Structure formats: C-alpha cells, structure tokens
Structure 1
Amino acid sequence: MLLPVTLVIAAACAVVNIWLAMRLVRGRLKGKVMVGDGGDQAMQAGMRAHANFIEYTPIVLILLALIELARGPLVALWIIGALYVLARIAHPLGMTRGAPNPLRAGGAVVTWIVTLVLAGWALAIAIDAPRSTPATITLDATAPRA
C-alpha cells in the first residue's frame, strides 16, 4: 500500500536532513573542526539543530504513516506534514541567531504541537478501533496476480 503523504513528507525531511548536514560540513571545513564543535558556538548551534531534527523526525514520520494507513491520505495529514517540515526549517535558521527569536521558538512550538496532534490522533484511532468493523482479507492462491 502506498502512503503518498508519508512518502512526500519523508522525502522532504531527507532533503532538510542533508541541508542541515551540509551546513555543518561547511562550518567544519571553515573552522578546521573534524570532530565535536571545537569550541565554536555556531558549530555547536548547528550540531544541536541537526540533532534536534533527528530527535523529532522519526516519531513524526511513524505517526504520519500509521495514521495514513489507518485512515487514508487526508488533507489534514498533508497540512500537518507540511507544517512540520516548515517548522524544522525555521528552527535551525533561528538557531544561527544569538538571541531568542521567533524562528527558533516558532519552529520548536510548531514541532511540539504537530507531535501532540499526531499522538492524540493516533490514540483516538486506537481507542476507536475496537468499535470499527475489522477488514476482511481473503487469500486466493488461484487468483491472477496484478
């Protein structure tokens, strides 16, 4: 079964992940820092932004996929997925600024809201599942394969 929403959002997240990694590589080459942050606060901020992305993205993609499998591709999933990607772009842009700023704060808050909405949605599906009619799968070895 194809999961178009999850596939597109996962692909976008992969691009964001490479973008974050490339920012770090540029900083490492510029500062001649091959391991760690070398005491450079910009490098430290970039590393945290990348790590933060990696910390949140797997659970968001898992929840998106499971909700999509349970309920199909809904407009709400597209919107939530797009909001997540935008938040994960805004956050590291804000991390490069020294003072607290709307990009960093907004990226973090939207990430939390998206994660909580997906978690609540998944829980609602799970609670409703016993009342739903189970799908019937028939296996017929003689049927032609498509």
Structure 2
Amino acid sequence: MFAITSMYAGAAALMFVYLTLGVSRQRIRHKVSIGDGNNRAVLVAIRAQGNFVEYVPIGLILMAAVESRGAPELAVHALGAMLIGGRLMHAIGFTRRPQILILRQAGIVLNLVMLLAAGLGLLAHAIV
C-alpha cells in the first residue's frame, strides 16, 4: 500500500534532513540561536527549509490519494518526480550565491504543475 508514494516520501525525508542541517550549520557559523539574527545566510537556509515544508506535505498527501485511487504507476511516479525534482531544483537555485534564478523558477513551476495535475485528477475522478 502506497509503495510508490513511500519511496518519494523517503527521498523527501532525506532532503528535509539535509536542509535542516543547512540551517544548523548556518546558525553555528554565525552564532545565531533564535530567528535569523539579521543574517542573510541564516535567513536563506531557514527559507530553503521553510519552502520545502510548505510544499512537500500537500504534495505527498496528493500522491497518496492518487495512488490509493488506483492511478497508473507511471502517473504516480511522474507526480513524485515533479515534486522531488522541483524541490531539489528550487533548493539549489535558492541557496546558491548568486541565486540560480532559472532553477528556482523551474522548481516552483514544476511543483505547481504537480499540485495542479494531482488536484484536478482527483477532482475529476471523484466527479465521474
């Protein structure tokens, strides 16, 4: 049950740990315990992690719902690839100095397409 979604959830967990360690590294390096200490590097690390947290849970929930409705495996993998690929692209583009804006933009577009496709697919399946 949820074999495909579980695989992408595992990948997401590893990415989350990596982003969280990035926040910890910046906090230690810049001696910031709470908040961002008005330090841009700490703020960027916090927001990279925050952006991940804002998109991944709903993406995984939608994937699980799509998988539970019996969608073709290829469709579920496509959603997972868009979610994880988009988050990876966004994180890389966002955290580099200078930012790689095209990666950041492509990442968010990929995530929005994933959310839109899964959401519309679930609604269409529920209506029909």
TM-score (norm 1): 0.81
Q: Which amino acid aligns with 1:116?
A: L
Cα deviation digits, residues 55-84 of structure 1 (max 9, x gap): 111111111111111115521111220121
Task: From the superposition, tell whether residues 88 and 63 of structure 1 become closer, same or farther in structure 2 (CA, over 3 Å).
Answer: same
State the 1:100 CA deviation.
5.9
Q: Is the 8 A contact 1:84 1:110 kept in 2?
A: yes
Partner of 1:133: none
Identity %: 35
Length, aligned pairs only? 127
Residue equivalent to 2:88: 89
8 A Cα contact 2:19 2:45, kept in partner: yes
Point out the structure with max Rg over C-alpha: 1
TM-score by length of 2: 0.92
SS in 2 for 1:49: helix
What aligned pairs does 1:1-146 form with structure 2 within 5 A after superposition? 2-72=1-71, 74-96=73-95, 97-99=97-99, 101-128=101-128
Change (3 A) 1:85 1:99: closer
Q: What is the CA deviation profile of residues 9-64 of structure 1, one whole-angstrom value per residue up to 9, with x for unaligned ones?
A: 11111111101101111111111111111111121111111111111111111111
CA RMSD of aligned residues (A): 1.4
Contact 2:90 2:105 in 1 (8 A): yes
**SS class of match (1:37):** coil
Deviations 1:114-140 (A, max 9, x none): 111111111111112xxxxxxxxxxxx
Tell whether the 8 Å contact from 2:92 to 2:100 is kept in structure 1 after alignment.
no
For the Cα contact (< 8 Å) 1:88–1:111, is it kept in 2? yes
Unmatched 5+ stretches in structure 2: none
Structure 1: runs of 5 or more not aligned? 129-146
Question: Contact 2:90–2:106 at 8 Å: present in 1 too?
Answer: yes
Change (3 A) 1:7 1:113: same
Q: Distance in 2 between matches of 1:91 and 1:60?
A: 15
